[in-house]
Amino acid sequence: MISMRYHIVSITAVFLALAVGVVLGSTAISSRLLSGLTDDNSALGEQVADLQAEQNGLNARLADADEFATSVGPLAVKGLLAERTVVLVTTTDAKPNDRDALTELLRASGATLTGELQLTDSFTDPRKADQLRDLVARLQPAGTQLPTGADPGTRAGGLLGALLLLNKENNQPQASPDETAAALAGLASAGFVKPGPALRPAQLAVVLTGGAVDGDSAGDRAATVARFATQLDRSGAGAVLVGGAGSANGTGAVGVVRADTAATSVLSTVDNTDSAAGRVVAVLALREQLEGKSGRYGVAGNAEAPAPGTVG
């Protein structure tokens, strides 16, 4: 007869066997799991190394291409803007190296630079939009007419277009030297612009910006520059808005222009002027403006072509 003690011993043995099995099984699983994770980690490490090597190779090729474009750039643009005058407008986020390289290339094209005007942070500050609008109205030269657009970028573009660009019909200044000096002094004293020395009007304009605009008011700031450049284009023989990497996205001035079909119908944009090739394209686009054409050029997804003449 099976006793109660036998039952207890049997049940205890069963549970002990289960416990031992669980421990042994989990140890085997853990060992296999760790081995698998180690293998995965090694494979991922190899992929990272391969990708890094690929990136290094691409960077080297880009550096070679940029060096080549730098060397042939002056030859590619030679004579394109001969006997033409160009004024440079910059924003505070424009890189000095890009400005200097672009200026040098414009001179290589035969253009005469008539000076530089920098738009300050206050110019694009939405909190100072009303002040800028009111000041523009007070500084308007006699005989000129401001655009009907109510936004500060368009209004300021109308005023500065009359000051910085020659009349495209007769190639004459649109304001007298005294009116120009007074208006620029008024904008400068209010902290909206910084005129360079001996600034005088030109036939064409280049507006040079940086990349994407950061901050809570990024969209408003980018829109102000975009509308300013568009109106500046309408004020003379032509203008090009150029920027570096990120300028063509939603928080960059180039991107704001490209989202507006009315603006892109008159204003040319280039989104990669932080490269030698992009700066060559900027000069080509400026030449195209003289022919009454415009385009969206560069490497961003919303560009229509890398350069003028390469559409499609």
pLDDT in tens, 114-128: 999 999 999 999 999
Q: Is residue 87 part of a domain?
A: yes
| Cβ pair 175, 199 in contact under 8 A | no
**93 in the same domain as 67:** no
- What pLDDT shows up at residue 40? 67
Tell me: do 86 and 53 sit in the same domain. Answer: no
* Shared domain check, 159 and 38: no
How many whole angstroms separate alpha carbon 146 and alpha carbon 158?
A: 5
Same-domain pairing of 70 and 103:
no
Name the domain count of the chain: 2
Report whether pLDDT(22) > 90.
no
- For residue 309, being part of any structural domain is answered with no
Radius of gyration of the chain, Cα coordinates, nearest whole angstrom: 31
- The answer to whether residues 69 and 91 belong to one domain is no
Say if residues 286 and 278 touch (Cβ distance below 8 Å). no
Query: For strand 204-208 and strand 112-119, is the pairing parallel, antiparallel, or unpaired?
Result: unpaired
Domain C-terminal end among 44, 77, 110? 77
d(CA 206, CA 219): 21
Reading the block at residue 157, the tokens are 């573009």
| CA 227 – CA 244 distance, rounded (Å) | 18
Which class for 133: exposed (0-12), middle (13-18), buried (19 or more C-beta within 10 A)? middle
Q: What is the model's pTM?
A: 0.80
308 falls within a domain: no
- Between the alpha carbon of residue 145 and those of residues 103, 137, 140, 142, 237, the distances in Å are 31, 10, 8, 8, 17
Q: Would the pLDDT of 167 be above 70? A: yes
Task: Map residue 37 onto helix, strand or coil.
Answer: helix
Distance CA 157, CA 29 (A): 72
Residue 251 lies in a domain: yes
In a domain, 67, yes or no: yes
Residues 31 and 70 in one domain: yes
Enclosing domain of residue 45: 1-77
Examine residue 269 and state whether it is found in any structural domain, yes or no: yes
Residue 56 and residue 115 share a domain: no
Would residue 237 count as lying in a domain?
A: yes
Q: What is the mean pLDDT of residues 130-154?
A: 91
| Average pLDDT of the chain to the nearest whole number | 86
Same domain, 205 and 228: yes
Quick check: 84 and 203 in contact, CB under 8 A? Answer: yes
Q: Smallest Cα–Cα separation from 283: which of 222, 208, 199, 210? A: 208
Report the amino acid identity of residue 210: G
Of the residues 77, 96, 111, which one is the last residue of a structural domain? 77
7 and 83 share one domain? no
Residues 23 and 125 in one domain: no
Domain for residue 302, yes or no?
no
pLDDT digits (tens, 9 = 90+) for 222-253: 999 999 999 999 999 999 999 999 999 988 99
Do 89 and 72 belong to one domain?
Answer: no
Q: What is the per-residue pLDDT across 7-21, written as a single tens digit (0 to 9) for each?
A: 454 555 545 554 545
Q: Are residues 116 and 248 in the same domain?
A: yes
Please identify, among 48, 77, 106, the residue that sits at the C-terminal boundary of a domain: 77
Q: Is residue 160 within 8 Å of residue 152, measured between CB atoms?
A: no
What pLDDT, on a 0 to 100 scale, did the predictor assign at position 43?
Answer: 74
